[in-house]
Amino acid sequence: MKVAVIDIKGKETSKKVDLNDSIFAIEPNDHAIYLDVKQYQAAQRQGTHKAKERSEVKGSTKKIRKQKGTGGARFGDIKNPLFRGGGRVFGPRPRDYDFKLNKKVKRLARKSALSYKAKDNAITVLEDFNFDAPKTSQYVELLNNLKLADKKTLLVLAGYDKNILLSSRNLQSTRVVSVAELNTYDILNANNLVMVESSVKEVENILSK
């Protein structure tokens, strides 16, 4: 699959990039996508929720009333979970929600997500560029030139570029990642995937292993 390379002015250049069919044109595996997105979102959870159980609630340990002879149910102390202000039974505790997912499944999920984008013609290959200094207006101009200002975009760079990252950080509808950070959730969450020319080969090298 050949895609024309576009410059930062939004015009087609004479160059074309050949997207590898084994990565950008496979039969998507929806279950692999589901598992990878689930694992990604689970890993984002802080898991710092905590409720006090009866041993942690402040209060007297004195038995409220005698065990027998009242005609009522047996009660212990005021921290009983049945009472208002008592401890909670089996309340949430801090935990890690992340779970293991095999590398091959994650790789298949990313290939499937990229194939969906290629099928929808939602991949733009951009000529390599850089900014001399962080400037949001420069990044907005780039999106306007690509006619993607009103769409949610994901820009994939071959490596870390501080100026481009800082230029895009204040914009809600766009995200900039390096090839090493590329994941299934971000690919599917964006309307358009913008890849710089050098990042295409990097993606193919990582996903073809």
pLDDT digits (tens, 9 = 90+) for 33-79: 999 999 999 999 999 999 999 999 999 999 999 999 999 999 899 99
Residue 167 contacts residue 134 (beta carbons within 8 Å): yes
Three-state SS at 175: strand
d(CA 195, CA 154): 8
Question: Where is the domain boundary, 96, 125, 156?
Answer: 96
State whether 116 and 140 are in the same domain. Answer: yes
Contact predicate 159/199, CB 8 Å: no
Q: Which of 32, 65, 96 is the last residue of a domain?
A: 96
Clarify whether residues 184 and 110 are in a common domain: yes
The order of strands in the sheet holding 192-196 is 12-18, 2-6, 123-126, 192-196, 153-157, 174-178
Within this chain, do residues 22 and 125 fall inside the same structural domain, yes or no? yes
From first to last of its 209 residues, the chain has per-residue pLDDT tens of: 788 888 888 888 888 888 988 999 899 999 999 999 999 999 999 999 999 999 999 999 999 999 999 999 998 999 999 999 999 999 999 999 999 999 999 999 999 999 999 999 999 999 988 888 999 999 999 999 999 888 999 999 988 889 999 999 999 999 999 999 999 999 999 999 999 998 998 999 898 87
Q: 86: domain range?
A: 51-96
Co-location of 72 and 160 in the same domain: no
Residues 85 and 176 in one domain: no
Residues in CB range of 170: below 8 A, 6 or more apart: 136
Overall domain count for the chain: 2
Q: What is the pTM of this model?
A: 0.83
Together in a domain, 76 and 89? yes
CA distances from 203 to 40, 110, 118 (A): 19, 10, 14
User: What is the identity of the amino acid at 178?
Assistant: S
User: How many CB atoms are closer than 10 A to CB 152?
Assistant: 13
Residue 120 sits in the same domain as residue 162: yes
Shared domain check, 136 and 65: no
Query: Distance between CA 144 and CA 130 in Å, rounded?
Result: 17
Of 96, 129, 156, the domain-final residue: 96
Q: Are residues 70 and 91 in the same domain?
A: yes
